[in-house]
Amino acid sequence: MAEMMQFDLVSPERRLASVEASEVRIPGAEGDLTAMADHAPTITTLRPGVLSVTHASGTDDYIVLGGFADISGTSVTVLAERAMPKGELDRETHESLVEEFRAAHEKAKDTFKNEPGPVDDAAKLLSDMVALGDHIRI
């Protein structure tokens, strides 16, 4: 049996998960990563994507929209800006989120003229949100 670690996923609205997990696949802003027991201590920011948790009863998928993950050898704690079980993301909700990210990108373009960094960051978040919908086929 695989070694287990404590996994907790919380958002401002609610605690979504608290289980003993063997593996957590995280959509990191610098790239996806998988955390397992005895993982090197790491803190990473999150991009919009699917976070998957493997535990004794199977695998649970969650949608995360920013935040960060704190990984230690014995636990993974994810503090998400927004999160929900994957099953709660329907087409209407996804379209609303894409529009929200699109508006943030437009605002960044208007606010940060001749400053590509913030505009590029907003464009990347919008791209990740669109890709999320493609990934989960909604």
Q: Could you tell me if 46 and 96 lie in one domain?
A: no
Tokens coding 74: 């014995």
Q: Could you tell me if 95 and 76 lie in one domain?
A: no
Q: How far apart are CA 48 and CA 124, in angstroms?
A: 10
DSSP string of 66-129, one letter each residue: SEEEEE-SSEEEEEESSEEEGGG--HHHHHHHHHHHHHHHHHHHHHSTT-HHHHHHHHHHHHHH
Give the model confidence (pLDDT) of 78-101 as tens digits. 999 999 999 999 999 999 999 999
Give the model confidence (pLDDT) of 6-21 as tens digits. 999 999 999 999 999 9
Identity (one letter) of the amino acid at 88?
Answer: E
Question: Kind and range of the H or E element at 132?
Answer: helix 116-135
CATH number of the domain where residue 30 is located = 2.60.15.10
pTM of this structure: 0.89
- State the chain's mean pLDDT as an integer: 93
> What's the domain range around 32?
5-86
Positive or negative CA dihedral for 48, 98, 9, 2?
negative
Q: Could you tell me if 22 and 70 lie in one domain?
A: yes
Q: Could you tell me if 55 and 18 lie in one domain?
A: yes
Q: What is the dihedral of CA 75, 78, 79, 82, to 10 degrees?
A: -160
Q: Could you tell me if 32 and 68 lie in one domain?
A: yes
Tokens coding 55: 């535990």
Beta carbons of 102 and 33 less than 8 angstroms apart: no
Q: How confident is the model at residue 1 (pLDDT cuts 50, 70, 90)?
A: low
Give percent of the chain with pLDDT exceeding 70.
Answer: 99
- Number of structural domains in the chain: 2
